[in-house]
């Protein structure tokens, strides 16, 4: 096992194999799964051509395909912060660590479909850990889109109603 120097006070806790890692990017969170020895598995845009971790993750918003990569946690985190966040452990039982790692290693290097709302990086790692794909981030975005759509529809309806009322003699 490598030295523990990459997990300092700014990044509390030492992840264990199978842990979910939440990386805080400006405006969103990127998710990875810890494999051990400082390595994680995550999805990255297929057309990734820049070494900047935050920028390459931001490109995934517009990508329809992603590459499953095994990378050093410190390289993926870059200057951002992260935390261990196994937030669904109360909802789902994690698979055995050996099974999580076996499933993860099988996917390394494969191209997978990517969809910000239905198949994103959080869906990917929760499927590995729990056998269930879930993303609170996507659920919040879908809820916000629904609210904005409903509000826009209501405002349009009110505008039409007001327009008709003002045309009546």
- Tokens (6 digits) for 120: 């994103």
What are the phi and psi torsion angles at 90 (to 5°)? -80, -20
The single residue of 11, 30, 123, 163 carrying the catalytic annotation is: 30
For residue 32, the surrounding DSSP H or E stretch is: strand 28-36
The single residue of 11, 121, 123, 163 carrying the catalytic annotation is: 121
- What's the whole-number mean pLDDT along residues 65-89? 95
Greater confidence, 12 or 36? Answer: 36
Residues 6 or more apart whose CB falls under 8 angstroms from that of 80 comprise 23, 24, 25, 53, 54
pLDDT at residue 148 in the model: 45
For residue 83, the surrounding DSSP H or E stretch is: strand 81-84
pLDDT at residue 95 in the model: 98
- pLDDT at position 123 over 80: yes
Give the position of tokens 């990378």.
71
Q: How does pLDDT run across 14-70, given as a tens digit for each residue? A: 999 999 999 999 988 999 999 999 999 999 877 644 444 444 444 445 567 899 999
Say whether pTM exceeds 0.75: no
Residues 6 or more apart whose CB falls under 8 angstroms from that of 74 comprise 6, 38
Rg (CA), the chain: 20
Can 30 be counted among the known catalytic residues? yes
Do residues 42 and 125 touch, judged by C-beta distance below 8 A?
yes
Q: What is the band of 142 on the pLDDT scale with cuts at 50, 70, 90? A: very low
What distance in Å separates the CA atoms of residue 64 and residue 85, rounded to the nearest whole number?
26
pLDDT at residue 168 in the model: 56
Can 123 be counted among the known catalytic residues? no
Q: How does pLDDT run across 150-159, given as a tens digit for each residue? A: 545 555 555 5
């Amino acid at each position: 096992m490598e030295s523990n120097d990459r997990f300092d006070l700014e990044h509390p806790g030492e992840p264990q194999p199978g842990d979910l890692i939440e990386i805080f990017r400006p405006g969103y969170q990127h998710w990875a799964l810890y494999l051990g020895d400082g390595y994680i598995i995550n999805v990255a845009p297929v057309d990734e051509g820049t070494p900047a971790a935050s920028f390459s993750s931001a490109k995934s918003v517009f990508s329809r395909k992603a590459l499953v990569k095994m990378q050093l946690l410190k390289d993926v985190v870059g200057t951002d912060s992260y935390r261990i966040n196994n937030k669904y452990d109360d909802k789902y039982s994690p698979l055995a660590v050996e099974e999580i790692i076996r499933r993860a290693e099988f996917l390394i290097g494969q191209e997978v479909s990517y969809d910000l709302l239905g198949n994103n990086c959080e869906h990917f790692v929760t499927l590995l850990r729990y056998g269930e794909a879930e993303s609170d981030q996507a659920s919040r975005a879908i809820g916000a889109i629904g609210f904005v759509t409903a509000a826009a529809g209501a405002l349009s309806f009110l505008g039409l109603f007001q327009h008709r009322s003002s045309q009546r003699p």
